[in-house]
Amino acid sequence: MTTLPFDDHAIAWQTIEGFDHAAYHILSVDEDARIVDLLFKFAANERIALHRHGADYRTLVLQGELRIYRPDESLKEIRPVGSYVAGRAGGEPHTEGGGDQDVIVYFTNRGIDGPVYEILDESHAVVATFGIPEFKALHAAQAARSA
């Protein structure tokens, strides 16, 4: 289902080499409150890396639909535009991606005490982590590119 586009022309999307089909824009990193807020844009009809959430989170779908897939690649859930979900740390590893159009999702990660995201390989071994230090560095680099 195509939704009205979210006007993202003023957002300086960033990417990380090796993380296909995803762009991000960090809104804030609050180390004292242990909160990271960011926007993700996932490509239409594609999937991002297998991962697990290491912090409680809230999401709001701003454009398109967020599709969530189990590790066996079966579709677990579709969250349409306007969907707000509160989730807990841990849970089943999964991949995510857009439906028939790019999906833009606001993520707020809270109560961070370690990795926000664990990136997993096909055997579910951790191959990368993103926590507050990594998000602080990405946020600083993002600010430097925008200056």
What integer best gives the mean pLDDT of the chain?
Answer: 96
Please say whether the beta carbons of 35 and 28 come within 8 A.
yes
Specify the CATH number for the domain of residue 49: 2.60.120.10
Please say whether the beta carbons of 48 and 97 come within 8 A.
yes
The answer on pLDDT for 20 being more than 90 is: yes
The answer on pLDDT for 1 being more than 70 is: no
Residue 61 falls within a domain, yes or no? yes
Residue 47 falls within a domain, yes or no? yes
Residue 2 falls within a domain, yes or no? no
The whole domain housing 100 covers: 22-142
Residue 29 falls within a domain, yes or no? yes
Give the predicted TM-score (pTM) of the model: 0.94
Q: What is the DSSP string of 12-70?
A: --B--TT-TTEEEEEEEEETTTTEEEEEEEE-BT-----EEE-SEEEEEEEESEEEEE-
Residue 16 falls within a domain, yes or no? no
Q: Which two tokens stand for residue 23?
A: 């762009």
pLDDT tens digits along 59-71: 999 999 999 999 9
Q: Which residue has the tokens 């579910």?
A: 124
Quote the number of domains for the chain.
1
**How far is Cα 130 from Cα 133, in angstroms, rounded to an integer?**
8
pLDDT tens digits along 79-110: 999 999 999 999 899 999 999 999 999 999 99
